[in-house]
Structure 1
Amino acid sequence: MKIAIVTDGPYGERAYATIKQEFDCDYIVMETPSSTFMDEIDLPPETMKKLEKADIILSYVLHPDLSLDLVEALHDKVEWIIVGAWRGDGFKNQLESYGNVTCPENMCDLSENGNPYFDELVSKFGMPVVRVNCQGNKVVDVEVLRCSPCGSTQFVADEMIGESIKTLPIKAGLRIQHYPCKAPKMRLFTDDECKKEMAANFHKKAFEDALKKVSTDKK
């Protein structure tokens, strides 16, 4: 499966570094239009050819007109488009009206939707899932089964080795605060702490579920 990550700014590099470990992945940088809003934007033919070859496109394009033009031009040529950078619910609704476009609140809340290509990607990247191995009350290993696209789940997993299982989920949720999450900066009029709290809760739950699985397996 072919993944293409497209950006016009500072976002997308970490997703590329993470996703290319599992999938054939291209990282495509487009030139940012000179003004905030433009009636017509030239889409470079060579860039469009590369994007059309992808099964799934992850867009970190911040310029709203460029983002919309890309979706309009590509939605019927690829299986799915995930828009990681969008501004306002109205714009989100406009993009998602194409049917095979999703604009997640956070990239780490992606989950299966029934499309085989989308689900193949989300089997590896999206809402975090981990497996915890313990000796007594201590964590000796954490296996990341599904990582957030930015790599934060692996960061947290590595930090949890040696922690007590009694406080593990809470510490996992707190530790995510030390990973420089860029999601809030890709939104306009958003609450940075709200987005960080969302990511913290996803990871807290992932470790809670992992500990429940350990407890069940021991019975």
Structure 2
Amino acid sequence: MKVAIVTDGPYGERAYETIKEEFECDFVELEPPASMFMDEIEVPQKELEKLEEADLLITYVLHPDLTLELVEKLHDKVGWIIVGAWRGEGFKNQVERFGNVTCPENMCDLEENGDPIYDEFVSKFGRPVVDAKVEDGKVVSVEVLRCSPCGSTRFVADEMVGEEIEGLAIKAGLRIQHYPCRAPKMRLFTDDECKKEMAANFHRDAFEEAIEKALKKKEKNYN
């Protein structure tokens, strides 16, 4: 599967570095539109053709009219579009009406939706899933089964090795702050729950579940 990431600003590079380890991935940078009028926004043909080659497109474009232009031009050329930066429920509804477009509240909250292309991507990237091994009350290894697109899950996983399992899930959630998580900056336009807190909770839950599974496995082996 081929993934393309498109941006008009500072976001997307970390996702590109992470995603290219699992899928063929292109990174396309566009100039932010100088005009405020939708009918004067144009996407360069060369970049447009490159994006059309993708099976799945992720846009970190901050300019809403440029995002809409990309969705309108590409929704019937690619299998799925994930809009990582968006503004307001009205805009979300407008682009999601195309059917193969999703505007997640947080990029580390992606889960399967039944579409084969989307689900192939989400099998590797989205809501964190980890597998942990514990010995003598400590974490000895962590395998990342599904990573947040920005790579923060791998960062937290490395940081948790050697830590006591007591209170580990909470510690994992807090450690996401050190990555640092860019979620709130991606969604400056919302008054909803802090996106960084959401990311922290997803990682807390992932490690809590992993520790519970690891302890149950050890108990079963002893019995």
Regarding TM over 0.5, the answer is yes
The answer for the alignment partner of 2:186 in structure 1 is: 186
Equivalent residue letter for 1:139: V
Which blocks of at least 5 consecutive residues in structure 2 are unaligned? none
CA contact (8 A) 1:133 1:139 kept: yes
Distance 1:192 1:139, change over 3 A: farther
Q: Distance in 2 between matches of 1:171 and 1:7?
A: 32
Distance 1:11 1:21, change over 3 A: same
Equivalent residue letter for 1:110: L
Equivalent residue letter for 1:108: C
Q: Distance in 2 between matches of 1:152 and 1:37?
A: 37
Q: Percent identity?
A: 72
The answer for the alignment partner of 2:155 in structure 1 is: 155
Deviation per CA, 1:101-152, whole angstroms, max 9, x where unpaired?
0000110000001111111111111000001111110111111111000010
SS for the counterpart of 1:142 is: strand
Task: Please report how far the alpha carbon of residue 192 of structure 1 lies from its aligned counterpart in structure 2 after TM superposition.
Answer: 8.9
Structure 1 position 114 matched with structure 2 position 110: no
State the TM-score, normalizing by the size of structure 1: 0.96
Between 72-81 and 175-184, the greater mean CA deviation after superposition: 175-184
Which blocks of at least 5 consecutive residues in structure 1 are unaligned? none
1:120-135 alignment runs, 5 A limit: 120-135=120-135
Structure 1 position 145 matched with structure 2 position 151: no
Q: Distance in 2 between matches of 1:162 and 1:202?
A: 21
Equivalent residue letter for 1:81: I
Deviation per CA, 1:4-52, whole angstroms, max 9, x where unpaired?
0000111000000000001000000011111344323112111111111
- Kindly report the root-mean-square deviation, in angstroms, between the aligned alpha carbons of the 2 structures: 1.3
Between 154-163 and 184-193, the greater mean CA deviation after superposition: 184-193
Q: Distance in 2 between matches of 1:45 and 1:189?
A: 30
Equivalent residue letter for 1:23: F
Distance 1:197 1:167, change over 3 A: same
Q: Distance in 1 between matches of 2:198 and 2:92?
A: 19
